[in-house]
Copies of this chain bind each other. A is one copy, B any other.
Amino acid sequence: MSPRYDTILITGAAGRLGTELRRGLAPLARKLRLASRNGIKDLAANEESVTFDLADADAVMAAAEGCDAIVHFGGAPMERPWQEILDSNIRGSYHIYEAARKHGIRRVVYASSVHAIGFHRLEDHIDTNAPHRPDGLYGLSKCFVEDLGRLYWDKFGIETVSLRIFSSFPEPADRRHLWSWLSFEDCNRLTAAALTAPRVGFTVSFGISDNKEKPVDNRLAGHLGYNPQDNTEAYRDAMEAKTPVPDPKAPAVQFLGGFFVEMGHPDDEAAK
Contact = CB atoms under 8 A, between A and B. Distances in A.
A139 B151 contact: yes
Contact of A144 (B147, B150, B213, B254): B147
Interface stretch (A12-20, A36-44, A171-179): A171-179
A148 B139 CA distance: 10
Interface residues of A, number: 77
Given A199-B122, A213-B197, A213-B225, A136 B151 contact: yes
Interface in A103-133: 106, 119, 122-123, 125, 129-133
Nearest to A175: B198
A185 interface: no
Nearest to A130: B129
11 contacts: A4-B245, A98-B267, A119-B150, A125-B222, A131-B150, A134-B151, A136-B151, A179-B223, A198-B213, A199-B253, A217-B219
